[in-house]
Structure formats: structure tokens, C-alpha cells
Amino acid sequence: MSGALKEVRNRIKSVQSTQQITKAMKMVSAAKLRRAQDAIIQMRPYANKLQEMLSNIVSNTEGELGGTLATERHVDRVLLIVITSDRGLAGAYNANIIKAAKAVIAEKYASQAAAGNVAIWNIGKKGYESMLKSNYKVDATFKDIFLDLRFETVQACAQAAVKAFEEKQFDLVEVVYSEFKNAATQRFVVERFLPIPKVKPAAKAKKSDFIFEPNKEELIAELMPKILNTQLYKAVLDANASEHGARMTAMDKASENANELLRSLKISYNRARQAAITTELTEIVSGAAALQG
């Protein structure tokens, strides 16, 4: 009888220590999430200004601008940049991104995939490990960006993609990542990276006699890569915030589940204890009765 009691006590202990871990992880994720959100906010003025500058130049120009980075080509070879996290225990976060990436290949690029012309660059270890098992061309050069998340490392990845596009290794580049909405919800998006979508002149552009130096065409040629760097950086930051948000939610749920489990375990523990006491009492009473008898 006391064996059952001990068993339940051990289970309670193990659930309690698991809960301690999930609670701690939740707290750590909350702190990291705050930092990740902060980075997004810090980047916003730069990104907005850059975009404003571009539409400003376009508004002050007649005719089309763009160059090679904006020229649509027939899509033979596709590159997907898939951003996942380095670590698990974030609910369905990584699984969902991988699923979204595979879905987009199956829907939009089935023929290219059949010809073996879909390449994948993974950012984040989890996606890399999972994609290795599939038969796409997987490149791990930029897998470790999250180990040291700085603008320069992301910039290197964006520039490599631009270079590959210019050299016609790929005709289309898309980024698959999770956009950060709030801690509980992520939106999985597939975003066009290259060729750059046509820029429309801003409605409320500053109409003024700007001096452009060196000239508009060269300025735009300089601006485009910078905008791409920023776009990828934003995607990586969003993915980072999403990861911590997802982990925080997952760990919160796990702690709640542990609570539930503890409650039912405590009930069975008390029941077992009461049963043991009752048996003991019965034994004593019947023993005493036998002596008197």
C-alpha cells in the first residue's frame, strides 16, 4: 500500500520540477521577447526613412526606374530563404514555418522543384535539420545568424542573395518567416525579396527641387541593396521576436498543464494516504477485538 503512496509522491515531485523549468523558461523568453521587440522598434525609423527616400526619388522622376534588381525574369530557378529558430520547445513554431515553406514549393514552384531547381537557404538550425531530410538543395552558409544577431551578419546574407540573383543563379528569391503580431499569434508569411516589386510614387511625396547627388539612377542603384538588407534584417528580427513569443506561450501552457496534473495527482495521493490509514486502523481495531474475544 505504501508503495503506491511513494510512487505518487515521486510523480508529484517530478511534475513540480518540470513546472519549475517551464516557468523559468517562460520568464527568460518574456525578457528576450522584450529585447527582440525593442530591436524592431529601434530599426523602424531607419527603415521608414529609407523607404521614404526611395519613393521620394521615384516621385521626382518621370518614367521607370529599377535596373536589374527590379527586372522580372522567367522563373526557372527559385531560392527560398527560410527563417526558423535555433532551439526547439517553442510549440509548433518551427514545424509551421517548415510546413509553410513546403506548401509554397508544392503550390507555386512544383515544376521547378521537379527539375531540382529549388534551393533553400536556412537561417536557424531547426529548419536546416528538417530540410536536410528533404531532397532540396540546402545551403547552410547562413544557418548560424541567430547565434550572433547583428545587422552585419544579416547584411552578408542579403548581399549574397543579391549577388546570386544578379549572376542569374536564381530568378526569384522569397523569404519564408513568421511575422510578429503579438506574443500569442504569429503570421507565417512568404515575402518576395527579389526581383524588387515596382515602387509606386508616394501620394504625399515631398515635391521640391531636390539636388540629387550623384544622380537619380545611381542613387536608386545604391538604395536598392540597402533596402534589401533592411528588409531581410526586419524579417530576421520579426522571426526572432516570434520565436520568443511562441516559446513564452508554449511554456505558459506547459506550466498550466503541470498545475492541472499536480491537482489530480494530489487528489490521488490523498486518496491513497487515506486508504492506507483506514487499512491500518482496521487492522488495529480487529487485532484488539481478537485479543478481547
Partner 1 sequence: MNLEILTPERKLYSGDVYGVQLPGVDGLFEVLEKHAPMVSALKPGKLKVLKDKGQSDIAVFLIQGGFVEVFHNKVTVLVEGAVPS
* Residue number, 119 or 158, with CB nearest to partner 1: 158
CB atoms within 10 A of CB 109: 19
Binders in 72-131 for partner 1, by CB under 8 A: none
Identify whether the C-beta of residue 171 lies closer than 8 Å to the C-beta of residue 178. Answer: no
CB of 250 vs partner 1, minimal distance in Å: 29
CB atoms within 10 A of CB 57: 20
Identify whether the C-beta of residue 78 lies closer than 8 Å to the C-beta of residue 170. Answer: yes
Site size for partner 1 (CB under 8 A): 31
Residue 78's φ and ψ, nearest 5 degrees, are -120, 140
Binding mask 36-65 for partner 1 (x = CB under 8 A): ---x--xx-xxx-xx--x--xx--------
Binding mask 231-250 for partner 1 (x = CB under 8 A): --x-----------------
Largest distance between two CA atoms of the chain: 117
CB atoms within 10 A of CB 70: 16
Could you tell me the three cell numbers for 150? 547583428
Binding mask 130-169 for partner 1 (x = CB under 8 A): --------------------xxx--x--------------
* Residue number, 41 or 290, with CB nearest to partner 1: 41
Q: Which residues pair with 92 in a beta bridge?
A: 90
Residues that bind partner 1 (CB under 8 A): 39, 42-43, 45-47, 49-50, 53, 56-57, 150-152, 155, 206, 208-214, 218-219, 222-223, 226, 229-230, 233
